[in-house]
Homo-oligomer: A and B are copies of this chain.
Amino acid sequence: MRIKIHSPTLDGANNSLKDFLGAKGFKSTRGRRIIFKELETRGEHFNAESLYSGLSEKKQRVSKPTIYRTLKILEKLRIIERFDIKKNCFYYEPLLHRREHGHLICEECGKIVDFSIEDFGTIESTIVKENDFRLNYISIRAFGLCDSCVKASKKQQG
């Protein structure tokens, strides 16, 4: 399953990585550099497994525990977002610099497409206003059928 997303924008992450991690009390290590680098160039949604095998193919192996641990850190730092498409299958995506979008998830083929939301501000203010809640971020997922799967199902019918 290959899924496209906006081109990731961890720009400068590699240069400022040391400072970036340092500021949060994390060390700049080989594994983290490799993973960060990979996320920069990876124009797709991904998960721990695909990250692991992708890096292994490039002879840049990082152990699974390290991948999981690093992903968890990145999630906490809001650099990536984790969401579940189906059971036992978590996908992540780079978040940096672009929070205001949701995901269209095709329930047939699993394809994920990002969509932007114009009045995100309205939603946010509604939420904040009506609830005593300190909002960190919003995740919007829209499930349905993508164009090609709709067409495919139409063909089948007639």
Contact = CB atoms under 8 A, between A and B. Distances in A.
B150 A127 contact: no
A104 B122 contact: no
A63 B69 CA distance: 34
A123 B136 contact: no
A87 B82 CA distance: 10
A139 B143 contact: yes
Interface stretch (A1-9, A37-45, A113-121): A113-121
Copy number in this complex?
2
Interface residues of A, number: 37
Interface of A: 82-84, 87, 90, 102, 104, 106-107, 113, 115, 117-119, 122-123, 126-127, 130-147, 150
7 contacts: A102-B127, A115-B130, A133-B144, A133-B147, A134-B144, A135-B144, A137-B144
Given A138-B140, A139-B141, 18 more contacts: A107-B136, A115-B127, A115-B130, A117-B123, A117-B126, A119-B119, A123-B123, A132-B150, A133-B145, A133-B146, A134-B145, A135-B142, A135-B144, A136-B145, A138-B143, A140-B140, A140-B141, A141-B141
